[in-house]
Structures are given as C-alpha cells and as structure tokens.
Amino acid sequence: MRLAWQQGAFYAIVRLVGALERRNYSIMRPTVFSASLLLRFLRRNRIATLPQLKQLLGTEADITVFRKLRELSYRTSYSHRGSFYTLDEIAAFDEHGLWSFDSVWFSRHGTLVAPAVVCVTQAAAGYFASELEDILHVPVKEPLLRLFEQDRIARQTVSGLYLYCAGNPRTRQQQLQARQVLLESAAAESADTGSHELRAAIVLFASLLDEQQRRLYAGLESLQLGGDRQIADLLHLDPHTVAKGRRQLLAQDVEVGRVRGVGGGRKRTGKKRLG
C-alpha cells in the first residue's frame, strides 16, 4: 500500500516537472516574425518609417525589423535624414539612379554621399552646387565640402563659383572644357537676345522722331553699326536718306527748328488771278 502511494507520488512529480518545463520553454521560445508582413505592407504603402514597421511586427527591437528587411532587399531614403524605407522591387530608378515617392527620395547608390559622388563623377561638364541640388532635391553644400576634403571629388573656380568635378584628372579636364563650351554658348545666346532688344528699341525710338530727326538718327546709327543699307532696312528708310543724314552729321550741317531742307516738300502753287 505504501509502495503504491510512493509510486503514485513519484509519477505526479514527474508530470508536474514536465508541465513546468513545457511552460518555461513556451515562455522562453522566441517569437517568430514573418517578413511577409513587411512585404505586403510596403507593396501597399510604397514607403514606411521604422516605427511603423516595428508596430507592424509587434516588436520594440530595431534589429528585428532590419533582419526581416534584409530578406526582402530594402533601400533607405537619402532625404528626410534616412528615416524612410522601401524595397528594390518598388523603386523605379531614373537615369541618375534616383526615385521618389511623396517627396521622399531614394538612390540605388545609397545614402546622400554616394549619389552625390556618382552624379559629379558622371556629369559631362561637372556640377555647380545649385545644379546638383536641382537633381537630388536636397541641400548638398556640406556633403560636397566633406567629399572634397576627403579627395573623393575635386572642385575648380569657374565664373566665381565652385564647379565640382571628378577626382580623376583626365575626366576633370574634360568636364572643365565642356563647361567652358557651355558658358561661351550661353554668353553668345545672351548677346543675341540683347541684339534683338536693341534693334526693337532703335525702331521704337525712331518712330517718335520727326523727318529730320529720324534722318539724322539713322545717320548716327549707321556710323555706330556700320552700313547704310542695314539701318535703312531696320527703319524702313531709303538708303540715300540714311547716307544724307550721316553726311549732315559729319559736316555738322543741321538746321535747328527746320524739319525739311530748303526747297523740300511740295512745290508752292501761285494764286490764280481772277478774270
């Protein structure tokens, strides 16, 4: 009787210990997180912040989120202090390797420093800081300064501004030559625009003058610009009129207060004698 009681007590203790062990194992066993949750969420929302992903997985550990993101091949934004994440399969990168969603920018090359180096190095004529900001859509002066100090890129003063170029001397020389061509082309275009504006101003001013003033002004412009025919065509005058105005100016043969010269205009008609 006593032996049976002892055996029963022994088996009860064994069962209790087993139950406790199973309970402890269940408590200590790590929670299994699924990357599929992140995949579905990012496919639906395109981008997300770390707090959003942690809440989605039900964890407070950053490393847990990043471990699952690595399974999916993810990207970190270079704008907004790198606080947004997306997936490679979502980002549609352009020719600069950039992609944005809701004004959040990502690069296939990494965070801000990497795309800045790639853009400057591959630019045909280098970049001024303002030009690179237009491409990357974020301030770049400080990153460019750090890259220059690290000898990862070079810079050259052009038109009073720093032009950032490739670190390779041969590539840099090609970029500087291409930039010079662009500057000369822009200057020529500006001069051509100025020439059109000047011609329009000449025509407008001449239209406000009387006959003698217009002739003298045409003669003056022919002396400055050269060519009676050119000024005559511009002001719709006879080339002889322009030449006459020029000769009058050179000879200082100008009658103040008279529009036409003596004998100019219609011939006077005599009064008819009444019969």
* Positive or negative torsion for Cα 255, 259, 265, 271: negative
Average pLDDT over residues 16-24: 54
The model's confidence at residue 18, banded by pLDDT at 50, 70 and 90, is: low
Choice between 175 and 2, residue whose per-residue pLDDT is larger: 175
Instruction: Compute the C-alpha angle 36/70/92, nearest 5°.
Output: 85
**Token couple for 59:** 């964890």
Under CATH, which number does the domain 112-191 receive? Answer: 1.10.10
Give pTM, 2 decimals: 0.58
For 218-250, b/e burial (b = at least 16 CB within 10 A) is: bbebbeeeeebeebbebbebebebbbbbbebbe
Choice between 248 and 51, residue whose per-residue pLDDT is larger: 51
User: What does the domain layout of the chain look like in residue ranges?
Assistant: 30-111, 112-191, 209-251
Choice between 43 and 275, residue whose per-residue pLDDT is larger: 43
pLDDT digits (tens, 9 = 90+) for 65-91: 999 999 999 999 999 999 999 999 999
- Residue 52 parent element (H or E): helix 50-57
pLDDT digits (tens, 9 = 90+) for 142-155: 999 999 999 999 99
CA 137 – CA 147 distance, rounded (Å): 18
pLDDT greater than 80 at residue 226: no
Contacts 24+ apart (CB under 8 A), 251-254: 254/212, 254/216
pLDDT greater than 80 at residue 140: yes
CA 119 – CA 124 distance, rounded (Å): 10
First-to-final CA distance of the chain: 179
